[in-house]
Amino acid sequence: MQGFRRSLATLLGATIGLVVIGVIVRATDSGMGCPDWPLCYGQIIPPVDDYKAWLEWIHRAAAAFIGLVTLIVVALALRSLKGRRSLQGASLALLVLVIFQAWLGRQTVLEFNSGQSVTAHLATAMAFVGLQVWVLARSGYPERLNGILEARGAVIAPIIAAGSIYALLMFGSNVTGTDTGLLYPDWPLMGGTVFPPVTELSTPHIVHRYATGIVGLILISALWIVRREPGSPRLTARLLTAAIGLFLVQCLIGALQIFTKLAPWTQTLHVAIATFIWILVVGAAAIALLEARRANSGSGDREGRATRGGTTRSTLSAYIALTKPRIVELLLITTVPAMFLAAQGVPPLTLVLCTLIGGTLSAASANVFNCIVDADIDQQMTRTAGRPLVTGEISTGAALLFASVLGAASFLFLAATTTLMAAFISLLAIGFYVLIYTLILKRSTPQNIVIGGAAGALPPVIGWAAVTGDVSLAPILLFALVFYWTPPHFWALALRIGPDYAAAGVPMLPVTAGPAETARQIWLYTILLVVMSLMLWLVAGMGAVYLAVAVALGAVFLLRAWRLRSEVLGDGLLRGATRLYRFSITYLTVLFAAIAIDAILPL
């Protein structure tokens, strides 16, 4: 095992060196120093007097060395690690990534260092690094580890943080690939403003700046969650702390890139530090997962009852149930009309379909993470006691993998088929819903659904960004419309199932403030909702169809919310809350349908 670990550590160090060399090649414009592949000007050794060719040749030679070390790692795993199938399989996966990366290097040369090929090349390199970190961490634990019985913040927060860092790496690579690094000569402002005009040229740079701030907050939130949770691994907290420290240094290096006009040394340092941040956060996530599994060692009986077998059809149904399809459907209702409004007509149907697929994956990922964190709450509530993680139809580990794959797929799919801005907002929605709402707010404040509702209000912004690539005042108003709709909608439901929340210890407003205050808050938020719907008509230039629907439905909503205030006891309360809850769904559906109709047939 020691020989395997030493070889793996050598591979990781060499890979970091290769990434640095690759940045130097890019920063010195030496990517086409050898215009052919795998030879250089048809020779094994490049021309003596061409330093760009030598830089590219050194890059290729380092890559060949890494391929050789990877083969050694695989050989050691197959020969020396009998019975360690997880490590053997992961080592073979490393070899597959090396081969794929070599092919991508060839394509990068043949495509003359195009932006897409450069981003794909870095994406694969970072996946290669991340897998090495996982294998190195996994090799320090026994082969036989029980599955995870529960995954709370100490496990999920580092995973979300790792995904956000990976996305930020891709955003940065896209800036490099599109040569927009010096689009704005100032920092932290962009052209003297926080909100510069969003165009096809400026989008990569703007998204990278915005994403940096958001990812920084995600890292800080992840560390806070890990430190707050009893029994969380100390090493995970230390790695996240180190990552945040490097992240602050990275921001300063980003500023230096602007002020030094992308001097090669700043570019090299920027990517090198980004790679170390990635290693630290992946390490934190790996340790959190492995420690959660080791904590379950010796409890095989519990693990044996954690999941129960079923038919393929029932298992598939259980996975679908984890995604909360009804909530996903409701979110998508707000996405398509926003796309119609952004396009001022019917957008391309392929774009609509791709946005719906990406949005579904994003919302599903957030919902599965939510089910994992709230499994203990769901077990105590009648409404949720039949969810797959409670009944044991799906294991926590399988659900964790499912949620992670859905989240990664949503980001990559939206980035590839729609716009970078839409992909960024989808990532923000997952991070906010899981970290801020589920892990921080839900169990700590009765205002949880108010603040947490921001995540559910982002789908129309995603739809708008998928069409235009930017975010203007109109999608912000659409966001506000759903944001103010969420409290009346959810609190009406909470009034019906208040005893469930009380039994589970969740401080929803009906539990902490009582029915009368909840009804009053519903009334106040309904007023804000109706006002926001009329503001959208004024600002976005909506037509008569939308105005008529907004006024009519708003009046009904106000009337029902007012009546609920006088029905705060007994059966009247339950009937009024049920009617308001059901009407709120109709309200949102019909109002957004009116937005789409107005965009197609303006009157």
> What value does the mean pLDDT take over residues 573-588?
89
Residue 26 has pLDDT above 50, yes or no: yes
Residue 302 has pLDDT above 50, yes or no: no
Residue-wise pLDDT tens digits, 233-284:
999 999 999 999 999 999 999 999 999 988 888 988 999 999 999 999 999 9
Sorting pLDDT into bands at 50, 70 and 90, what band is 572?
low
**More confident site: 109 or 60:** 60
Percent of the chain scoring above 70 in pLDDT: 95
Distance between CA atoms of 586 and 444, rounded to whole angstroms?
A: 31
> What value does the mean pLDDT take over residues 21-38?
81
Sorting pLDDT into bands at 50, 70 and 90, what band is 309?
low
Residue 552 has pLDDT above 90, yes or no: yes
pLDDT at 349: 94
Give the contacts of 427 (CB within 8 A, at least 6 positions apart): 163, 164, 167, 211, 362, 407, 411
Query: Considering only 466-475, 495-504, 525-534, 569-578, which range has the smallest mean pLDDT?
Result: 569-578
Q: Which of the listed ranges 37-46, 233-242, 444-453, 465-474 does the model predict with the highest average pLDDT?
A: 233-242
Query: Closest Cα partner for 94 from 184, 15, 198, 203?
Result: 15
Assigned superfamily of 306-471: UbiA prenyltransferase (1.10.357.140)
Query: Considering only 56-65, 77-86, 329-338, 464-473, which range has the smallest mean pLDDT?
Result: 77-86
Distance between CA atoms of 296 and 446, rounded to whole angstroms?
A: 33
pLDDT at 310: 63
Write out the H or E segment, with its range, that includes residue 24: helix 2-27
Cβ-contact 341, 467 below 8 angstroms: no
Residue 366 has pLDDT above 90, yes or no: yes
> What value does the mean pLDDT take over residues 544-549?
93
> What value does the mean pLDDT take over residues 62-89?
88
> What value does the mean pLDDT take over residues 406-435?
91
From the candidate CATH numbers 3.30.70, 1.10.3470, 1.20.120, 2.60.40, the one assigned to the domain spanning 480-603: 1.20.120
The first and second tokens of residue 541, run together, are 């230039």
Query: Closest Cα partner for 236 from 159, 169, 164, 139?
Result: 159
pLDDT at 248: 96
Residue 231 has pLDDT above 90, yes or no: no
Beta bridge partners of residue 193, listed in sequence order = 190
pLDDT at 308: 57
Residue 38: is the preceding peptide bond cis (ω within 30°)? yes
pTM of the model: 0.87
What does the mean pLDDT of the chain come to? Answer: 87
Q: What does the DSSP 8-state code read for residue 188?
A: S
Token pair 């970091």 is at which residue? 16
> What value does the mean pLDDT take over residues 277-298?
86
Q: What does the DSSP 8-state code read for residue 39?
A: S
Asked if 306-471 and 480-603 have one fold, the answer is no
> What value does the mean pLDDT take over residues 552-578?
83
pLDDT at 523: 93
Query: One-letter amino acid identity for 180?
Result: T
Own/partner long-range contacts of 276-280 (Cβ < 8 Å, ≥24 apart): 276/16, 276/246, 277/165, 277/243, 277/246, 277/247, 277/250, 278/126, 278/129, 278/130, 278/162, 278/165, 278/166, 278/169, 279/12, 279/16, 279/129, 279/130, 279/133, 280/239, 280/240, 280/242, 280/243, 280/246
Name the region of 186 (left: φ>0; alpha: ψ -120 to 50; beta: rest).
beta
Sorting pLDDT into bands at 50, 70 and 90, what band is 146?
confident
Query: Closest Cα partner for 60 from 27, 31, 95, 97?
Result: 31
Sorting pLDDT into bands at 50, 70 and 90, what band is 69?
very high
Sorting pLDDT into bands at 50, 70 and 90, what band is 129?
very high
- What are the extents of the domains in the chain? 1-143, 145-297, 306-471, 480-603
Sign of the C-alpha dihedral computed for residues 388, 393, 397 and 402 taken in this order: negative
Sorting pLDDT into bands at 50, 70 and 90, what band is 113?
low
Give the contacts of 531 (CB within 8 A, at least 6 positions apart): none
pLDDT at 569: 56
Name the region of 570 (left: φ>0; alpha: ψ -120 to 50; beta: rest).
left
pLDDT at 361: 94
pLDDT at 571: 60
Sorting pLDDT into bands at 50, 70 and 90, what band is 303?
very low
